[in-house]
Structure 1
């Protein structure tokens, strides 16, 4: 007891530094290293203002990131066709070279050959021996390529600033932000899934909701690049992640769903990007005054 009292007494009687001494000590500290410059764009700046340190991931694309304008425009036109995306997704998953008929079971050999020849003209594929094809630039996943297409179309159709494959460094959260956009001072977050609905797991949905809760975007969209119904598997998984007090999902039209006034789910039925643009518009309207 005596030793404890003595220690407390000495702490209380320790001489306080003068203002001059405190300033002298502070001045002797080495300068803080400058922070890494923020990647350009309003979308990335909005993440920084929320306290994140966003970085752009390395692009995993089957073509150079900086395509010439003509090639990019022609490639974008191809992406508008669901059959092309099915083919490209399957071709990327083949890993090595492939022959027409091996990329996907949903197209004929003749259809795949026509699409492969078109990609040869665009410089993405080269012909190899035995009437096979391979990519000039190897990608490991179709997801980043889909993000590239959607981001390009959002810039063109909505005039917003967009970033893809963003690492936002939130403690305890894994995964990247597939697509973020800055529009009318609002932050839009898109989660893009390129695999069929049967491959969607509860863990992926939980991770999506965790990112939404941490990021707090003004509008969030869960987009599946599929022509299959979302109501069979995707909607039940998403609904399970909502607050039980939330109203049931409301169909806007076709396979466009409002889960909350700021959270939406869409498929690729009819037009993937048009569906995304439609629900982004719905979300922006919901943010406005109700009068």
Structure 2
């Protein structure tokens, strides 16, 4: 029988304290999967993370050569644009309906590539349909970036992480661990015009709750970040007026030594890797 706590008006006796403690059930014992350093770093920060399944236009257990071929294609901005558009059609589509940013001949080739990869099937009239419908492209972007961080930079990675921080909404899109450092990436697959201030505010709340060593705000777009994205992020910085952003290279920007913003111009993963390298150097001891 569970003991009731002693009355609040009187100081409990030693026996009452022991009885109460002995009758209180212990909390759940949650064990992490072996080798999950990224998740372990969240647990050490006092969170109880869980991982949600990603919304993907392909089987979640895709591995081996098929996964490698898909990742190779996702490295091309034009392929990501096309697949994003195909997902948003939510059904049958012609190659030119998937995106207006790819020429018709290239769009037709990309549609056939989706068929070869097992992501789409042909329909009558030169139309196509995805075999595994998804709601949006976000999960695919997270899957791709996480895979590249793991394979190219040796990070331990977790995606679609719910860290259940009090009064902090949203998921941690990608968290990664290496060299005793925790990296958090917020992934945005929509153009900058769709980015709202409340999304940026939510990102900063997650950063302040998590306190990663490095945080990177990733926009999968070739458009300039200085027009809208940088001002929105600067407005949320603790220091106001904010310091001017520092261009590292191309569209890789440092808002602080530990907070970066990148887009996909030239190479999405190359830009992310540049931001990581810059951030790790900022965390390193001073040069002799």
TM-score of the superposition, structure 2-length normalised? 0.91
Confirm whether residue 67 of structure 1 aligns to residue 45 of structure 2.
Answer: no
3-state SS of paired residue (1:226): coil
Matches within 5 A, 1:72-87: 72-87=67-82
Confirm whether residue 37 of structure 1 aligns to residue 23 of structure 2.
Answer: no
C-alpha distance in 1, partners of 2:136/2:154? 27
- C-alpha contact 1:219 1:262 (8 A) present in aligned 2: yes
Per the TM alignment, residue 268 of structure 1 is displaced from its structure 2 partner at its CA by 0.5
- C-alpha contact 2:146 2:159 (8 A) present in aligned 1: yes
- Aligned twin of 1:7: none
C-alpha distance in 1, partners of 2:47/2:14? 37
Which one has the largest radius of gyration? Answer: 1
Per the TM alignment, residue 183 of structure 1 is displaced from its structure 2 partner at its CA by 1.2
3-state SS of paired residue (2:96): coil
C-alpha distance in 2, partners of 1:26/1:67? 48
C-alpha distance in 2, partners of 1:79/1:113? 17
- Aligned twin of 2:276: 280
Deviation by residue 1:212-236 (Cα, 9 ceiling, x = unmatched): 1111000000111111111111111
3-state SS of paired residue (2:183): strand
Per the TM alignment, residue 108 of structure 1 is displaced from its structure 2 partner at its CA by 2.2
C-alpha distance in 1, partners of 2:135/2:33? 25
Matches within 5 A, 1:192-211: 192-211=187-206
- C-alpha contact 2:145 2:269 (8 A) present in aligned 1: yes
Confirm whether residue 252 of structure 1 aligns to residue 229 of structure 2.
Answer: no
C-alpha distance in 2, partners of 1:280/1:232? 23
Per the TM alignment, residue 278 of structure 1 is displaced from its structure 2 partner at its CA by 0.8
Confirm whether residue 98 of structure 1 aligns to residue 93 of structure 2.
Answer: yes
3-state SS of paired residue (1:248): coil
Distance 1:18 1:82, change over 3 A: closer
- C-alpha contact 2:235 2:242 (8 A) present in aligned 1: no
Deviation by residue 1:113-139 (Cα, 9 ceiling, x = unmatched): 211111111111111232221111111
- C-alpha contact 1:38 1:54 (8 A) present in aligned 2: no
C-alpha distance in 2, partners of 1:25/1:220? 44
RMSD: 1.7
The size of the alignment, in residue pairs, is: 277
Distance 1:33 1:209, change over 3 A: closer
Per the TM alignment, residue 92 of structure 1 is displaced from its structure 2 partner at its CA by 0.5
Deviation by residue 1:166-191 (Cα, 9 ceiling, x = unmatched): 10101111110111100100000001
Deviation by residue 1:21-40 (Cα, 9 ceiling, x = unmatched): 6545543x264353343345
Matches within 5 A, 1:7-26: 17=13, 19=15, 22-26=17-21
C-alpha distance in 2, partners of 1:156/1:24? 53
C-alpha distance in 2, partners of 1:108/1:253? 29
Q: Mind listing any 5+ residue stretches in structure 1 that lack a counterpart?
A: 1-10
- C-alpha contact 1:39 1:56 (8 A) present in aligned 2: no
